[in-house]
Amino acid sequence: MTPFLKNLTATVAARYGVDAAMILSPSRRAELCRARSLIWAIARWHHPAIYTTTRLGQYFRRDHTTIMMALRRHGQPRFGRQRSKRLRQWPPGLLDLCASAGWSLRASDIAAQIGCPASTVADARRYLRDSGAWGHGLKVPPYNHWAAIAARQGTALRTAA
């Protein structure tokens, strides 16, 4: 274990009032699990390239997926593709238009207004939803959205007879 992790483990153990050796034990007591997950989150926050989930799993004798789940509970994004989207530069006005329009406009309509691919609009909506800035509440379009599509196409929605 690195000096940084040793120091961090001792600090968090003192904060939670547990022994540092108990944090490394296989125990699943709630206060130990919370202390472990806090250590993992802090280590990943300060040194994401050094403390991968695999390496933290080796240090703490845990599976890397256990560390991934603990990081999600602490609100840390998944690294890799998700991280690059978080740091992405969006076309000017795209986030504002997505936030104000909600589901009332199709992604292709917004894309045509801004001049970007529809997949970029979908990514922007996902980004807004995950960051908490999406005030429309739903992860999928409501049913009346499909009625609007049918009305635009001049067809009627089928209803159960």
What amino acid is encoded at 142 in this protein? P
Tokens of residue 63, six digits? 């599976």
How do residues 31-50 score in pLDDT, each as one tens digit? 888 888 888 888 888 887 78
**For position 30, what pLDDT does the model report?**
87
How do residues 84-143 score in pLDDT, each as one tens digit? 444 467 788 888 888 888 777 888 888 888 888 888 888 888 887 777 666 665 554 444
**For position 143, what pLDDT does the model report?**
46
For domain 3-76, say whether CATH 3.20.20.140 is its number: no
Query: In the chain, which residues fall in CATH 1.10.1750.10?
Result: 3-76
Instruction: Kindly report the number of other CB atoms within 10 A of residue 110's CB atom.
Output: 21
